[in-house]
Amino acid sequence: MLQMTLDLLRCPYCASSDALAVAEAEWRLVDYQDGARREMVSGRLVCPGCGAAFPVADYVPSFAAALPQDVRADADYWGRYYAGEAAKGNHTYMEPRLARAGRAAAAYDPEAFILRHPLLKERGRCLDLGCGSGWTTLMLGREGFAALGLEPALGSVVVAKRYAMEQGTPVDYVCGAPGYVHFAAGAMDAVFAFHSLHHVPDLLDVMPQITGWLKTGGVLAVDEHVQSRPQYWELAGLIGSQLGVPKSPPSTGAEPSANEDCSQAAVLPAIATHLHVADLKFRHVAFDGVADWASGGEAPSDAVLDLARGLSNAVAEWRPGDVEYATVLAIKGAQPPGAEDRRALEAKVPAPLWPLFDCGRATGSVGGHTWGARLRRAYRLLLARGPKALLREAAGYWHWRLGQ
């Protein structure tokens, strides 16, 4: 664990503003590409306020003891999945170059869009929420950020830290989750979340804490799953089967936890309630993998890329409100957004995506929000993901409306 991380960590139990004390620590010099750094290999972190202690092992501090059962179950599921892939020799979730290899057919490259954005021109200290096996944190470190990854699956971040050390990139990792870990207020220049916020239970309640870690003027940059459209994945699977691709869902020995997609409907409202949205893009993702399937592991040909892009473009034109992912850059202002800011943002969101029950206005070519369209979408959501998903989406939307 780097000294930077030690300076940032606070007690999640009493939320003291005091830095955690170090006990029984083993330190070691670690060689990186930019020189050697002193790191804490093992020991304990102790809160000077309430006396709570947290272990450090294999260079990673762990706040897993603070996690509730549902978050632990989610971490266990994905930890098993990433471990299984690593055991097969698949380093896609550790190495940024491999993880981003399938972007050729995408409507746009979300990581490139974020990293090249003028708001992030100055590299500084950043937090990467839900980093999994660490490839996004490693990417940020290579891009010049002083990067810290946060992930509830302890095994995943231990592997990620080891890999980053082997690569000579000085990034750090913490085992924990938003709502159950604490950092110094205003310490981050940027907070990133790549495909992770939709796993955070009660995101609307947790977002003020995430915002509090940002300095005023700091940037939240996310690429997030904001709604599910299983019919397109079914179609993509049929195309894959015709191309000889076997169905291979993640095999982890456990069912996915209830936190899968638990806050996807709350992502946009949570961000817009606390931060000023500066840039926003949407995309369909179901057909992005068609190019890889059709190319059989080789570099996709222009014809294959045209096929994949054509499918995505057709869906985007036919059903613009069915976009599944949003890329958002938002700024922490001296004051939270007002009602006018939120209404301006709502006008930019594809019609069926945001206002499931809204009596809102039309949004250009997307069309108006008729009760028939709302009921049809509610029915599709109910069939696809059940009553809990429908209630979560409705709750997220009404939280937004009441905030206006």
Residue 232 sits in a domain of what CATH number?
Answer: 3.40.50.150
pLDDT value at residue 55: 98
pTM to 2 decimal places: 0.84
Local structure of residue 352 (DSSP, 8 states): T
Residues 6+ apart with CB under 8 A from 33: 168, 169
Average pLDDT score, the chain:
83
Residue 61 lies in a domain: yes
- How many angstroms separate the Cα of 140 from the Cα of each of 32, 77, 106, 149? 16, 25, 21, 10
Q: Whose structure tokens read 């950043």?
A: 126
Q: Of 19, 133, 158, 38, give the one whose Cα is nearest residue 81.
A: 133
pLDDT value at residue 230: 77
* 3-class secondary-structure state, position 131: coil
Residue 300 lies in a domain: yes
Q: Which residues form the domain of 151? A: 3-337
Residue 160 lies in a domain: yes
Cα 102 from Cα 86, distance rounded (Å): 18
Cα 13 from Cα 112, distance rounded (Å): 37
pLDDT value at residue 9: 97
pLDDT tens digit string along 363-388? 222 233 455 655 666 666 666 556 77
pLDDT value at residue 320: 76
Per the model's pLDDT, the better-predicted residue between 245 and 208 turns out to be 208
What is the number of structural domains in the chain?
1
- Per-range mean pLDDT, top range of 142-151, 264-273, 331-340: 142-151
Q: What angle do CA 400, 401, 404 make, to 5 degrees?
A: 95
Residue 368 lies in a domain: no
Quote the tokens at residue 399.
């939280």
Pairing label, strands 276-283, 21-32: unpaired
Mean pLDDT, range 225-235, rounded to an integer: 80
Per the model's pLDDT, the better-predicted residue between 40 and 380 turns out to be 40
Residue 350 lies in a domain: no
Residue 101 lies in a domain: yes
Quote the tokens at residue 284.
């369909």
Quote the tokens at residue 292.
């890889």
Residues 6+ apart with CB under 8 A from 375: none
Task: Determine contact, residues 46/80, Cβ cutoff 8 Å.
Answer: no
Q: What end-to-end distance do the CA atoms of the chain give, in Å?
A: 43
pLDDT tens digit string along 194-206? 999 999 998 989 9
CA dihedral 382, 287, 132, 227 (to 10 degrees): -30
Q: Which residues on adjacent β-strands are paired with residue 40?
A: 27
Q: Is 199 left (phi over 0), alpha (psi -120 to 50) or beta?
A: alpha
pLDDT tens digit string along 264-291? 888 988 898 899 999 999 988 887 766 6
Helix (H) or strand (E) holding 219: strand 214-225
Task: Determine contact, residues 267/330, Cβ cutoff 8 Å.
Answer: no
Q: Which residues on adjacent β-strands are paired with residue 279?
A: 329
Q: Of 132, 157, 133, 137, give the one whose Cα is nearest residue 147.
A: 137
pLDDT value at residue 289: 67
* 3-class secondary-structure state, position 154: helix
Q: Of 401, 261, 400, 231, give the one whose Cα is nearest residue 325.
A: 261
Residue 365 lies in a domain: no
Cα 105 from Cα 108, distance rounded (Å): 8
pLDDT value at residue 359: 30
* 3-class secondary-structure state, position 390: helix
Per the model's pLDDT, the better-predicted residue between 167 and 234 turns out to be 167
Reported as a pLDDT band with limits 50, 70 and 90, residue 76 is: very high
Q: Whose structure tokens read 């915002």?
A: 211
Mean pLDDT, range 287-308, rounded to an integer: 66
* Residue 240 pLDDT > 90: no
Local structure of residue 65 (DSSP, 8 states): G
Residue 403 lies in a domain: no
